[in-house]
């Protein structure tokens, strides 16, 4: 009885599992905390370590790319078939800060395995999910007998993701030619649950602004003047209250222009997910759901644009009371955007709307900060189909589709490279990203290896490079 390709892959992974985990543990011992200046050398060491490991894996090219901040790693393994599609894998090698005293049961930078889980800062976010590509591509070669991957494989592993990726877009623009790809696979994400493998098909974008409202030149006495002059805190509150209509839809004229609506198929697929509202509320630490009329909770956080107040402030906020009309007030707003929305047009709509709301005697100052575009890959995109098939083979069950409500630098890759972005992750909500006792489930980590072992062949078979 000859071996199936899948059993070859599984055997190969089983044989190399111990060395793979040893290597990952070595990497996890490097505290590559990008947000802490005293770890700058560790972030550099982490980049050097990864570049060396990728060379050892077989990547002919593996370079450390400097930025004005922390370095990124770029690696490339061309396919011997020039017609094969090019895939760029994105991940990051920096990690969140962590200290034993934050509530860790073991040293955050001393990986340990307990109950088939690997505990360490970065185990899931994102070193584990970057590292499964090394064993994955080796298993792919072993199972197919190839000497090069079935696709042109590129990796870009940045070093500042946990610090807000301040130099990422510039880096991508600088190296746009070498990064050129037919599709981007983001390997820094999760799936629905241990039992429900999913592929994420898109991410919301983001526009952020601060609106400052100036009234009296200084705080004034509310007894002498209150009730007869406009109050900037009232104006700020009214602005916020006017953000939504009675159906919880954003009431800014033009805000929904161009929004790509959910298809019936997408809504069906979302509805098939084993969503438990009570469990979701526990994760949200919230006590009720509330949102745009006509949409489910998942649709609201994944596929609908929002306007949210992140902060509001004005006047006296200390203990007791102070009878003033405040001189100024401030609101910080963020808008999550979905496919079809352009942050620049949203900014224009918000400015026009806000200025129109503000009463005479109040001066309005609006500052927008860095925007992130939304990204969305249609369900029928061949690369997405390949990812779903590869994952389905690895997990032995049908794969479902999700989206991500947050926003990330992957959108810059879509923007600059003009390639669709897919999200392949094996992390689960309990992995504790950014929290104490971050872990990765070893079984899922190895399913990640297996998924990529199938993916490159599937992609090459079903999708050709379209120049």
Residues 308-347, interacting with a copy of itself (CB under 8 A): 308-317, 320-326, 329-332, 334, 336
For residue 191, the minimal CB distance to a copy of itself (Å) is: 15
87 vs 182: CA distance, rounded Å: 6
Q: Which of 28, 157, 362, 422 binds a copy of itself (CB under 8 A)?
A: 362
**Tokens coding 254:** 């033009």
Q: Which of 18, 285, 293, 396 binds a copy of itself (CB under 8 A)?
A: 285
For residue 201, the minimal CB distance to a copy of itself (Å) is: 16
For residue 207, the minimal CB distance to a copy of itself (Å) is: 10
- 279 near a copy of itself (CB under 8 A): no
**Tokens coding 55:** 């060379």
Tokens 């895939």 appear where? 87
For residue 411, the minimal CB distance to a copy of itself (Å) is: 12
- By CB under 8 A, what part of segment 165-204 binds a copy of itself? 204
Q: Which of 39, 300, 373, 439 binds a copy of itself (CB under 8 A)?
A: 300
Q: Which of 103, 361, 378, 398 binds a copy of itself (CB under 8 A)?
A: 361
- 217 near a copy of itself (CB under 8 A): yes
Interhelix angle 442-462/382-395, rounded to 10 degrees, is 140
- 428 near a copy of itself (CB under 8 A): no
Q: Which of 76, 160, 182, 208 binds a copy of itself (CB under 8 A)?
A: 208
For residue 402, the minimal CB distance to a copy of itself (Å) is: 12
Tokens 């047009």 appear where? 345
- 247 near a copy of itself (CB under 8 A): no
The rounded Cα 228 to chain-centroid distance in angstroms is 48
Query: Torsions phi, psi of 17, nearest 5?
Result: -55, -45
- 75 near a copy of itself (CB under 8 A): no
298 vs 310: CA distance, rounded Å: 21
Find the part of the chain contacting a copy of itself (CB under 8 A) among 101-109, 215-223, 263-271, 454-462. 215-223
Query: Torsions phi, psi of 62, nearest 5?
Result: -150, 110
Residues 6+ apart with CB under 8 A from 89: 130, 133, 153, 154, 155, 156, 184, 185, 186, 187
One symbol per residue from 405 to 424: x for binding a copy of itself (CB under 8 A), - otherwise; what is it? Answer: xxx-----------------
For residue 166, the minimal CB distance to a copy of itself (Å) is: 12
Half-sphere exposure at residue 90, Cβ-oriented, CA atoms within 13 angstroms: 28
Nearest alpha carbon to residue 191 among 182, 183, 180, 200: 200
Going by the DSSP 8-state scheme, the letter that residue 263 receives in this structure is: P
- By CB under 8 A, what part of segment 11-40 binds a copy of itself? none
For residue 270, the minimal CB distance to a copy of itself (Å) is: 13
For residue 138, the minimal CB distance to a copy of itself (Å) is: 34
304 vs 400, beta carbon nearer a copy of itself: 304
SS (H, E, C) 88-132: EEEEECCECCCCHHHCCCCCCCCCEEECCEEECCCCCCCHHHHHH
- 222 near a copy of itself (CB under 8 A): yes
């Amino acid at each position: 009885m000859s071996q199936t390709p899948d059993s070859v892959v599984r055997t190969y992974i089983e044989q190399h599992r111990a060395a793979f985990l040893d290597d990952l543990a070595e990497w996890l011992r490097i505290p590559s905390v990008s947000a802490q200046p005293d770890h700058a050398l560790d972030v550099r060491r982490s980049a050097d370590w990864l570049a060396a490991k990728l060379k050892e894996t077989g990547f002919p090219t593996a370079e450390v790319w400097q930025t004005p901040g922390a370095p990124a790693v770029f690696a490339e393994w061309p396919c011997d078939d020039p017609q094969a599609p090019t895939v760029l894998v994105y991940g990051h090698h920096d990690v969140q800060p962590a200290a034993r005293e934050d509530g860790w049961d073991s040293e955050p930078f001393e990986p340990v395995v307990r109950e088939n889980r690997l505990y360490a800062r970065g185990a899931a976010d994102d070193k584990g999910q970057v590292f499964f590509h090394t064993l994955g591509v080796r298993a792919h070669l072993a199972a197919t007998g190839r000497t090069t991957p079935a696709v042109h494989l590129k990796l870009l592993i940045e070093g500042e993701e946990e610090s807000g990726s301040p130099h990422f877009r510039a880096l991508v623009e600088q190296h746009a030619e070498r990064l050129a790809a037919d599709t981007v696979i983001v390997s820094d994400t999760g799936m629905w649950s241990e039992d429900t493998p999913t592929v994420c098909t898109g991410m919301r974008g983001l526009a952020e602004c601060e609106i400052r409202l100036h009234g009296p030149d200084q705080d004034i006495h509310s007894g002498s003047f209150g009730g007869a002059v406009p109050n900037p805190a009232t104006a700020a509150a009214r602005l916020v209250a006017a953000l939504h209509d009675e159906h919880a839809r954003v009431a800014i004229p033009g805000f929904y222009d161009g929004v790509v609506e959910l298809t019936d198929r997408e809504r069906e697929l979302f509805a098939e997910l084993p969503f438990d509202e009570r469990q979701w509320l526990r994760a949200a630490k919230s006590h009720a759901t509330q949102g745009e009329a006509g949409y489910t909770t998942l649709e609201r956080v994944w596929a609908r644009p929002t306007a949210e107040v992140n902060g509001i402030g004005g006047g006296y906020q200390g203990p007791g009371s102070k009878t003033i009309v405040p001189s100024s007030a401030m609101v910080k707003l963020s808008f999550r955007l979905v496919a079809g929305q352009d942050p620049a047009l949203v900014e224009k709509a918000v400015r026009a709307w806000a200025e129109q709301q503000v009463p005479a005697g109040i001066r309005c100052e609006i500052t927008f900060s860095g925007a992130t575009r939304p990204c969305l890959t249609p369900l029928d995109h061949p690369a997405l189909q390949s990812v779903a098939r590869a994952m389905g083979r690895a997990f032995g069950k049908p794969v479902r589709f999700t989206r991500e409500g947050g926003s990330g630098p992957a959108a810059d890759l879509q923007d600059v490279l003009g390639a669709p972005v897919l999200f392949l992750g094996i992390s689960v909500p309990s992995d504790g990203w950014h929290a104490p006792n971050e872990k990765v489930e070893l079984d899922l980590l190895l399913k990640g290896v297996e998924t990529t072992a199938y993916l490159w062949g599937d992609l090459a078979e079903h999708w050709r490079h379209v120049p």
